Structure 1
Amino acid sequence: MLIVMAGLPGSGKSAVAGMLGRSLAAPVVSVDPIEAAMWRAGVARSQPTGLAAYIVAEAVADGVLAVGRPVIVDAVNAVEPARAQWRSLADRHGVRAAFIEVVCPDPAVHRRRLEGRSRGIEGFAEPTWEAVERLRDEFAPWTDQRLVLDTTADLTSTAATALEFLARGRD
């Protein structure tokens, strides 16, 4: 199974992805550390490293799926081309693409999370609240079936809801 996390920065998708990865013994392939690694390797920030990070994440996820293991992709996935990329990857392997959109509907909580986090990704600056608000305006409407997770609930129950959704898809 290809599990595709989506949502705005600071919404809690990486926390949920990590918990799912531990529960399912599935690797989590996260786009932000990949992009930061490109910058550390000398690829100029003026290059399309965001797009390149999605392509690298796809290649890594492809390798995991090729050996018959589930994989979790952790990225914003705000636009249809990104979502289509994951559907295509799942189709190539004959597995389900399970989309999980993570939302934090309380703006004060969301902003506090964003501004208080430090993921420790060397060379990667956390986005500003203003950047997140701009991205929210650009977030494409969904056409895929997906689970929408409200992360104002505690992480354990949120992850349990996601695990139930994933288990239903295997039936």
Structure 2
Amino acid sequence: MFLVRVATGVAAYEAVRAAAEQNLALGRTVVVDAVNDSEPARDTWRRAAAATLSPLRFVLLTLDDEGEHRRRLEERTRNLGHVPEPTWEDVRRRRASFEPWSGPHLRVNASAPVHEVAGVILTQLGSLRPVARTPDP
């Protein structure tokens, strides 16, 4: 089962990357909500941004309160049909293999209500100097 999930994860990242690149090429803003637990996963988005000469910002949401993290996981319902919800043990295994970030990223504590977390992210991203987009030749 784990190998199937990994293969599905890679395919999902690549499908989302292709859609993100198409939208970035049209000048749209793209937000990808993904675990990005490894440098190869993060490179997916770096490649998409580079291919379209688009700025890229990573936001790492953290929730250090393990009890709250588990409660949120166990109470959520995404209704994704053929995709099973992760168990707490799945989350623990993934956390144990999570690769440290080596590049720039914004780290935000996600313990507050979602509207407050979103406000912090928007404020912080707005204060970052945008990366200039190079015009097409």
Could you say whether these structures have the same fold, taking a TM-score greater than 0.5 normalized by the shorter chain as the test?
yes
Is residue 62–residue 89 contact of structure 1 (8 Å, CA) maintained in 2?
yes
Give the TM-score normalised by the residue count of structure 1. Answer: 0.70
Could you tell me the percent identity over the aligned residues? Answer: 40
Q: TM-score, normalised by structure 2?
A: 0.86
What is the deviation of 1:47?
8.2
1:154 offset after TM fit, Å? 1.8
Taking the aligned partners of 1:80 and 1:47, their CA distance within structure 2 comes to 15
**Aligned twin of 2:86:** 127
Alignment of 1:90-101 (within 5 A): 90-101=49-60
Runs of at least 4 residues off by over 3 Å? none
Structure 1 residue runs of 5 or longer lacking an equivalent are 1-44
Shift of 1:104: 1.1
Match for residue 38 of structure 2 among 79, 86, 92: 79
Alpha carbons 2:21, 2:51 under 8 Å: kept: no
Match of 1:87, as an amino acid?
Answer: R
Show the 5 A alignment for 1:135-150. Answer: 135-150=94-109
- Give the deviation of 1:93 after TM superposition: 1.4
Could you list the per-position Cα deviations for residues 21-59 of structure 1 after superposition, in whole angstroms to 9, with x for gaps in the alignment? Answer: xxxxxxxxxxxxxxxxxxxxxxxx478221111000000
* Cα shift at 1:84: 1.1
Point out where structure 2 has 5 or more consecutive residues left out of the alignment: 131-137
CA deviation digits over 1:143-170, x for unaligned, max 9?
1211111111122221111101221234
Alignment of 1:27-106 (within 5 A): 45=4, 48-106=7-65
2:75 maps to 1:116 = yes
Q: For 2:50 and 2:98, locate their aligned partners in 1 and report how far apart those are by CA, in whole Å.
A: 24
Indicate if the aligned counterparts of 1:99 and 1:144 stay in contact, CA closer than 8 A. no
Q: Assess, with a 3 A threshold, how the Cα gap between structure 1 residues 62 and 116 changes in structure 2: closer, same or farther.
A: same
More strand by share: 1
- Output the aligned Cα RMSD: 1.5
Is the aligned partner of 1:158 residue 2:117?
yes
Find the structure with the greater CA-based Rg: 2
C-alpha distance in structure 1 between counterparts of 2:112 and 2:33, whole Å:
20
Higher relative contact order (Cα pairs below 8 Å, separated by 6+ residues): 1
- DSSP 3-state at the match of 1:73: coil
Structure 1 Cα separation of the partners of residues 60 and 27 of structure 2: 24
